[in-house]
C-alpha cells in the first residue's frame, strides 16, 4: 500500500511544481521551442476534458461535473487498490500513477477553474493536444493496467 501512495504523492508534486513553473515563467499562449520541429513548452489552460472536449462556455455546471467525476474516480481507485493489491505490485504502480494524475488535475480545477497544459508535441505543423505531467501519469498508469491484463490473460475481476 505504501508504493501507490508514494507514487501518487510524487506525481502530484511533480505535476504541481511543473505547472507552477510554467505559470510563473510564461504568459498565456506563450510558446518556447525545446526540440526544433518536435516539442515546445506552450502555456495553455483547458476547462474541458481530454483533448479539449467540452472546453466551450458551459458555465458552472461543467466545473461541478469535472470535479465530481475526479472525486468519484479517486474513490474508485482507492477501492480498486484495496481489491487488487494482492495481485501484484504492477497494479499498485498503475493505480498510484492514475490517482496522482487525477488528483493533480483536480487541484488545478479547484484552484484555477481549469487545468494547466504545457507539453506541446508536433510534427510539420500538426500538433498533438497539449498535456501535462498529470495527464502523462494517467496515460502510463492506464497503459500498465492494459498491458498487465494482456500479459496475464485474465480479467481484473477474476479470482
Catalytic residues: 117, 135
> What separation in angstroms does the CA of 115 have from each of 6, 61, 86?
23, 16, 34
Distance CA 60, CA 58 (A): 7
Grid coordinates 494517467 are at which residue? Answer: 138
Q: How many other C-beta atoms are found inside a 10 Å radius of the C-beta of residue 89?
A: 10
Q: Looking at residue 53, what DSSP letter applies? A: T
Q: Could you give the residue ranges of the DSSP H alpha helices within 47-155?
A: 60-84, 89-112, 133-152
Residue 8 host element (H or E): helix 2-25
Amino acid at each position: 500500500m505504501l508504493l501507490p501512495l508514494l507514487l501518487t504523492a510524487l506525481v502530484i508534486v511533480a505535476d504541481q511544481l511543473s505547472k507552477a513553473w510554467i505559470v510563473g515563467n510564461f504568459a498565456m499562449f506563450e510558446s518556447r521551442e525545446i526540440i526544433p520541429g518536435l516539442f515546445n513548452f506552450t502555456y495553455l489552460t483547458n476547462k474541458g476534458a481530454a483533448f479539449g472536449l467540452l472546453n466551450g462556455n458551459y458555465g458552472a455546471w461543467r466545473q461541478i461535473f469535472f470535479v465530481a467525476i475526479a472525486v468519484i474516480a479517486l474513490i474508485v481507485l482507492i477501492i480498486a487498490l484495496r481489491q487488487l493489491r494482492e495481485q501484484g505490485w504492477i497494479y499498485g504502480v498503475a493505480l498510484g500513477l492514475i490517482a496522482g494524475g487525477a488528483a493533480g488535475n483536480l487541484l488545478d480545477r479547484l484552484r484555477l477553474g481549469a487545468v494547466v497544459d504545457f507539453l506541446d508535441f508536433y510534427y510539420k505543423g500538426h500538433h498533438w493536444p497539449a498535456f501535462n505531467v498529470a495527464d502523462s501519469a494517467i496515460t502510463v498508469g492506464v497503459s500498465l493496467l492494459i498491458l498487465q491484463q494482456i500479459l496475464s490473460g485474465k480479467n481484473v475481476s477474476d479470482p
